[in-house]
Amino acid sequence: MLPNKNSDPTIRLHELLESIKLVYASTFSKQAKDYMKATPYRLEEEKMAVIIQRMVGTSHHNRFYPEFAGVAKSYNFYPVPPQKSEDGIVQVALGLGYTVVEGHNSVRFCPKYPRHLMQFFTTKETIQNAQQEYLALDLTATFSHENHETPDVMIKQYDLITAEEDNTLFYVGSTYSPEDDSVYDGVSRAGKRVVTFAPVLKHRIFPLPEILDLILEMGTWGMGTHVEVEFAVNMNTLQGEPKEFAILQIRPLVMNLEFEELDVDQFVRENLICQSEQVLGNGAVQGIYDIVVVDSDKFDRSKSKETAREVSEINARLLSEHRPYVLIGMGRWGSMDPWLGIPVTWDQISGASVIVESGFKDIDVTPSQGSHFFQNITSFRVGYFTVNSSHNLGFIDWDWLKIQPAFQEFNHVRHLRFDKPFSAKINGRKNKGVIMKPGK
- pLDDT tens for residues 317-333? 999 999 999 999 988 88
pLDDT above 80: residue 56: yes
- DSSP letter, residue 2: -
The dihedral formed by the CA atoms of 120, 125, 126 and 130, expressed in degrees to the nearest 10? -110
Going by DSSP bridges, is the β-strand pair 227-234/68-73 parallel, antiparallel, or unpaired?
A: antiparallel
Q: What is the pLDDT of residue 273?
A: 94
Q: Can you tell me whether residue 4 is helix, strand or coil? A: coil
Backbone φ/ψ region at 430: left (φ over 0), alpha (ψ -120 to 50), beta: alpha
Q: What is the pLDDT of residue 255?
A: 56
Q: How many C-beta atoms lie closer than 10 Å to residue 292's C-beta? A: 24
CA distance 406 to 94: 45
CA distance 234 to 385: 36
Higher pLDDT among residues 293 and 365, named by residue: 293
For the chain, what percent of residues have pLDDT higher than 90? 48
Going by DSSP bridges, is the β-strand pair 352-358/325-330 parallel, antiparallel, or unpaired?
A: parallel
pLDDT-derived band at 422, boundaries 50, 70, 90: very high
Q: What is the pLDDT of residue 153?
A: 75
What pTM value is reported for the model?
0.69
Order of strands, sheet of 155-159, starting from the edge strand that comes earlier in the sequence: 58-60, 63-65, 133-138, 155-159
CA distance 352 to 324: 6
H helices present in 85-134, as ranges = 98-101, 123-129
The dihedral formed by the CA atoms of 144, 1, 51 and 98, expressed in degrees to the nearest 10? 130
pLDDT above 70: residue 126: yes
Higher pLDDT among residues 211 and 266, named by residue: 211
- pLDDT tens for residues 173-189? 999 998 888 899 999 98
Residue 316's contacts (CB-CB under 8 Å, 6 or more residues apart) are 34
Q: For the ranges 90-94, 102-106, 193-197, 353-357, which has the lowest average pLDDT? A: 102-106
Going by DSSP bridges, is the β-strand pair 68-73/89-94 parallel, antiparallel, or unpaired?
A: antiparallel
Q: For the ranges 54-68, 131-145, 403-417, which has the lowest average pLDDT? A: 131-145
Q: What is the pLDDT of residue 367?
A: 55
**Burial of residue 19, with CB atoms counted within 10 A of its CB: 0-12 exposed, 13-18 middle, 19 or more buried:** middle
Q: How far is CA 68 from CA 15, 215, 232, 243, 278, in A?
A: 27, 17, 6, 12, 29
For the chain, first and last CA: distance in Å? 52
* DSSP per-residue letters across 202-261: TT-SS-HHHHHHHHHHHHHHHHTS-EEEEEEEE--PPTTSPPEEEEEEEEE-----S---
Beta bridge partners of 355: 327, 384
Amino acid occupying residue 20: I
Please, what is the average pLDDT of the chain?
Answer: 85
Closest CA to 366 of 188, 175, 123, 118: 118
Q: What is the pLDDT of residue 259?
A: 45
CA distance 25 to 10: 22
Q: What is the pLDDT of residue 340?
A: 78
Q: What is the pLDDT of residue 261?
A: 52
Higher pLDDT among residues 370 and 286, named by residue: 286
Q: Residue range 47-74: average pLDDT?
A: 92
- pLDDT tens for residues 378-411? 667 788 898 876 666 789 999 999 999 999 999 9
pLDDT above 60: residue 305: yes
- pLDDT tens for residues 202-223? 999 999 999 999 999 999 999 9
Query: Ranked by mean pLDDT, which of 61-75, 79-93, 252-266, 355-369 comes out on top?
Result: 61-75
Residue 414's contacts (CB-CB under 8 Å, 6 or more residues apart) are 292, 293, 295, 401, 406, 408
Q: Residue range 52-66: average pLDDT?
A: 93
pLDDT-derived band at 23, boundaries 50, 70, 90: confident
Q: What is the pLDDT of residue 44?
A: 73
Higher pLDDT among residues 10 and 29, named by residue: 10
Closest CA to 100 of 228, 218, 253: 228
CB 390 within 8 A of CB 362: no
Helix and strand numbers (H, E) in the chain are 10, 24
Q: How many C-beta atoms lie closer than 10 Å to residue 277's C-beta? A: 15
pLDDT above 60: residue 256: no
Q: What is the pLDDT of residue 134?
A: 95
Q: For the ranges 94-98, 310-314, 353-357, 428-432, which has the lowest average pLDDT? A: 428-432
Q: What is the pLDDT of residue 257?
A: 42
pLDDT above 70: residue 38: no
